[in-house]
């Protein structure tokens, strides 16, 4: 079945790097996404990676994809207090049309 | 950038009444919009896919008669929770695909917190 799993909580000190991990089960994934959700708000797309890529870097964000292990990670360099939020991993799969499956979200807490 | 406006942000209603939530794409046309439900500390659960000019496609286990979806124009989709009960209390979020390519991801509304008392 379709499943996306990620750890629920991560705490880091300001200035350190944060690494949020995600595993997925459906091998028909086309795109994989990382979204950020601040309290009471909708989701904001942070970055995405196509399933045939290994890595993507976008300023402080680095996405690594291990397609063999179905493992995706998001690294935030120089983490700031403003990065405190819930980060959702998501995959788009073919299901007739396309469907997006979300993980439960990782709550990142940045200590000053 | 693409913006999806969702209204209202929060609503409190009595059991048995109906509540309508609107989702508008402000600067792009969205032939397809998605409605999600989020329980506290849990992920988004896709409820239905809303297609402009046609019937919505509901996920398994979602009651189509309870959660009425209308997508009458390329910029507006509505979700009506009919005969609301306390267990319908949740955070509802809509989204639309931004552009024609999946790499653009989905733009989300800011969500509606529904509390049924």
pLDDT at A110: 96
Q: Do the Cβ atoms of B108 and A42 come within 8 Å? A: yes
Give B45-82 as a DSSP string.
Answer: EEEEEEETTSPPEEPTT--TTTEEEEEEETTEEEEEE-
Q: Do the Cβ atoms of B93 and A42 come within 8 Å? A: yes
- Mean of pLDDT over chain B: 88
From B45's Cα to the closest Cα of chain A, the distance in A is 8
Mean pLDDT within A5-10: 91
Span B29-79, pLDDT tens digits = 888 899 999 887 677 888 998 888 888 999 989 999 999 999 888 899 999
Query: How does residue A99 score in pLDDT terms, banded at 50, 70 and 90?
Result: confident
Q: Do the Cβ atoms of B108 and A44 come within 8 Å? A: yes
From A98's Cα to the closest Cα of chain B, the distance in A is 9
């Amino acid at each position: 079945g379709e499943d996306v799993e990620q750890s629920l909580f991560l705490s880091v000190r300001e200035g350190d790097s944060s690494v949020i991990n995600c595993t997925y089960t459906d091998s028909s994934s086309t795109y994989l996404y990382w979204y950020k959700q601040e309290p009471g708000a909708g989701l904001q797309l942070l970055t995405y990676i196509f399933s045939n890529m290994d890595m993507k870097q976008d300023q402080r964000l680095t996405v690594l994809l291990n397609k063999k292990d179905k493992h995706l990670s998001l690294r935030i360099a120089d983490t700031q207090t403003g990065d405190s939020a819930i980060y959702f991993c998501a995959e788009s799969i073919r299901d007739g049309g396309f469907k997006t499956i979300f993980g439960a979200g990782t709550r990142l807490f940045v200590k000053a | 950038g693409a913006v999806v406006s969702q209204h209202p942000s929060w609503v409190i209603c009595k059991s048995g009444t109906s509540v309508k939530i609107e989702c508008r794409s402000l600067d792009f046309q969205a032939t397809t919009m998605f409605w999600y439900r989020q329980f506290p500390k849990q992920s988004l659960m896709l409820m239905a896919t809303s297609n402009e000019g046609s019937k919505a496609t509901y996920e398994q286990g979602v009651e189509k008669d309870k959660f009425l979806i209308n997508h009458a124009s390329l910029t507006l989709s509505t979700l009506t929770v009919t005969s609301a009960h306390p267990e319908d209390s949740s955070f509802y979020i809509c989204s639309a695909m931004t552009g024609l390519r999946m790499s653009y991801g989905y733009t989300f509304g800011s969500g509606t917190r529904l509390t049924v008392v």
